[in-house]
Structure 1
């Protein structure tokens, strides 16, 4: 009987949860896009989400080693984009949570082969928007016009990144767990007696 390790169970659980949450969140966001702005803009937005998501998932399935490098670079670019949103505030749209969902699903797929690396990437993906939330909170708190910290975490960004942080913990735990849940332990090896060694 094939042994099922704790690491494999954690990896598969994290994959299922991340995929359900990521795909569900993207469907919800794309549904809103067809309501507003709708038309060809919504079609272009959908293509801009589905195409990179599908490409990264296929890469993570077929070439996990390459996907690790590509996704690491994508998370670095995502971090730079997070910094840009704080410094320049280039667009007034929930692009960060959408990008986080697009990255989370292929990272979870890649995490079936490299769970520790996937956990680190998911943690970084969750950390960047949270940093943005905190920076904006403390910046607006000086003027007294900003909302409370609790309401900021209730925004689309907070709703997305907090579960991703939980999925990151699952992958990090899986990366450090290699103990079988069932299966017989190997008996300890006994040293040969001196008489047998001299033969």
Structure 2
């Protein structure tokens, strides 16, 4: 890995970890403010435990690990779009479940990015775009009526605030992966068969 690629990787990782700590404190703070103590502990554990487990999984060299992150990213993206368009979860009663899922996965992708910069970058940018679209879907009716928030205001909503860090960190990982000539593929190719002599 070149020096610049390593610097960008470390910068992207540090930015997402810092965002993860601050965002995690906000999410937990709102849970303890709005819910009973045990409900807040349960709702915090519901996203924090999987996040920690995924961060630990990212350190594994097993060839299936990248595929696990790709599949999870696809599932979270699908759920996010479905929730935005069909209101699967009552946000007023339960909270922004889809956005918290995207946040938790984004933090764990930063850990994956320490080894697989290009793949982590692709997944972070993809999830960031999905989250931006999902956030915008909630304001379509207001926009049709000539109102609604502008792009800047959209990115400061509870669901939109995670978009910019994801896109920025994803872009840094992509540049680092490009400088390191790293592939974004996630499947494991068996070694080529040797010709018989």
User: Fold-level match, TM-score > 0.5?
Assistant: yes
Q: CA shift at 1:128, angstroms? A: 0.9
Question: Conserved in 2, the CA contact under 8 Å of 1:153 and 1:159?
Answer: yes
Q: Structure 1 pair 89/145, CA: closer, same or farther in 2 (3 Å)?
A: farther
Unaligned runs of 5+ in 2: 182-197
After TM superposition, the score normalised by the length of structure 2 is 0.81
Q: Which residue of 1 aligns with 2:180?
A: 178
CA radius of gyration, larger in: 1
Q: How far does residue 110 in structure 1 lie from its aligned partner after superposition? A: 1.1
Structure 1, gaps ≥5 residues long: 180-199
1:45 matched to 2:47: no
Q: Work out the CA distance in 2 between the residues paired with 1:109 and 1:135.
A: 30
Deviations 1:114-140 (A, max 9, x none): 110000010012111101123333333
Q: Which has the higher helix share?
A: 1
Distance 2:63 2:25 in 1: 29
Distance 1:133 1:11 in 2: 28
How many residues in Structure 1 have an aligned counterpart in Structure 2?
177
Which residue is equivalent to 1:110? 112
Q: CA RMSD in A?
A: 2.0
Select which of 81, 95, 98 maps to 1:96. Answer: 98
Corresponding residue of 1:18: 16
Aligned-residue offset at 1:31 = 1.5
Contact 2:142 2:148 in 1 (8 A): yes
Quote the Cα distance in structure 2 between the aligned partners of 1:6 and 1:144: 46
